[in-house]
Amino acid sequence: MAEFFSEYMLPVLWIAAKIMMIVLPLLGAVAYLTYAERKVLAAMQLRQGPMMVGPFGLLQPLADGLKLFSKEMIFPQQSSKIVFVLAPMLTFTLSLVAWAVIPFDEGLVLADINVGILYLFAISSLGVYGILMAGWASNSRYAFLGGLRSAAQMVSYEVSIGFVIVSVMLVTGSMNLSEIVLAERVWWVDLLLFPMFVIFVISILAETNRAPFDLPEGESELVGGYNVEYSAMTFALFFLGEYANMILMSAIAVILFLGGWLPPFGIEFAWLSWVPGIVWFGLKTASVLFIFLWARATLPRYRYDQLMRLGWKVFLPFTLVWLVVIAGALLAGDALPVM
């Protein structure tokens, strides 16, 4: 019995413990990202934001969660109830499982697989199914239209994100996320990647259905979009998944373009290396997240035709051409990585 426990149960328990060490802080970060968003928006619009529940309003996310847990879950009479419940669960679950390959520090990763990029591609491409299922299962025209709009939007911008990631793979010569962070790049390569970084940041705004691209939830024409029939915790799971995806996409941007857990500006600021890598990773991720909040506070919502035009007529051709430019520059500068 002792041998069985040590050989089979201990590894399983250790893996479960590592998963909890990722999931629990992430859930806390998701809860307090909602608090940070409300505070940032309030500061930009000269308001107070949450301030009544706990000191400085810090207990507001807990109060919101308790309120949603205590509300009644309502099912539309003609809805497909199993799919109706599975949709928010799928959206939330997919936003968590992608973190398995994200390196928080050197060696601090749950699964350091060689095809981490492909894993993220696969998980992100499945994300649209939760929203489509929600729109279809609700048996509502408004929800169904919101789901269709979301599917078209997410697929459109996944194409641009794919070409951006391919350009980073071309520069680093690896699909392993830890190796991408540690790969040495010449300074002019980072300059070539900067337009791709800008496109990536804009595309993840559309991929996560955030302002100014929050068209699947367009209140004026869809009365809330794909989640209009949801209530209580099923409603909350969609937004937990959305905020978890925001953190995930920000972390991916940090890994691909901002040096991951490494101190900023390389050897010129080597004295900053005493700060733990996971702290740098968190600070950089928070900086990218601030762009999400900033965009919501300042930019009006796009029309749907403007959204599609930007994705297919601007980002797609530009990323294709710029990928060729990067490949040519690496070849001319003898900077192609050794595979």
pLDDT digits (tens, 9 = 90+) for 164-201: 999 999 999 889 999 999 888 888 888 999 999 999 99
In this prediction, residue 271 carries a pLDDT of: 60
Task: Name the more confident of 10 and 242.
Answer: 242
Long-range contacts of 213-218 (CB under 8 A, 24+ apart): 213/153, 213/301, 213/302, 213/307, 214/301, 215/149, 215/150, 215/153, 215/301, 215/302, 215/304, 215/307, 216/131, 216/146, 216/147, 216/149, 216/150, 216/153, 217/146, 218/146, 218/149, 218/301
Q: 105 forms bridges with which residues in the sheet?
A: 108
Per-residue pLDDT band for 328 (boundaries 50, 70, 90) equals: very high
Q: What is the mean pLDDT of residues 258-280?
A: 77
CB distance 114 to 175 below 8 Å = yes
pLDDT at residue 329 greater than cutoff 60: yes
Residue 248 scores a pLDDT above 90: yes
E-strand ranges in the chain read: none
Q: What is the mean pLDDT of residues 138-149?
A: 84
Confidence of residue 142 (pLDDT cuts 50, 70, 90): confident
Q: What is the pLDDT of residue 322?
A: 95
- pLDDT value of position 197: 95
Q: Does pLDDT of 204 surpass 70?
A: yes
Q: Residue 61's Cα: distance from chain center in Å?
A: 20
307 or 223, higher pLDDT: 307
* Residue 302 pLDDT: 85
Lookup: tokens for 212: 């100014």
Q: Please give the model's pTM, rounded to 2 decimal places.
A: 0.92
pLDDT at position 168, please? Answer: 93
What is the pLDDT, as a whole number, of residue 107? 84
Confidence of residue 213 (pLDDT cuts 50, 70, 90): confident
3-class SS of residue 118: helix
Mean local confidence (pLDDT), 304-315: 91
* Predicted local confidence at residue 253, as pLDDT: 95
Higher pLDDT, 310 or 302: 310
Residue 101's pLDDT band (cuts 50, 70, 90):
very high
pLDDT at 283 over 90: yes
Bridge partners (DSSP) listed for residue 108: 105
pLDDT beyond 60 at 267: no
How far apart CA 236 and CA 232 sit, in angstroms, is 6
Distance of CA 263 to the CA centre of its chain: 22
Residue 180 neighbours by CB distance under 10 Å: 23
Q: What mean pLDDT value characterizes the chain?
A: 87
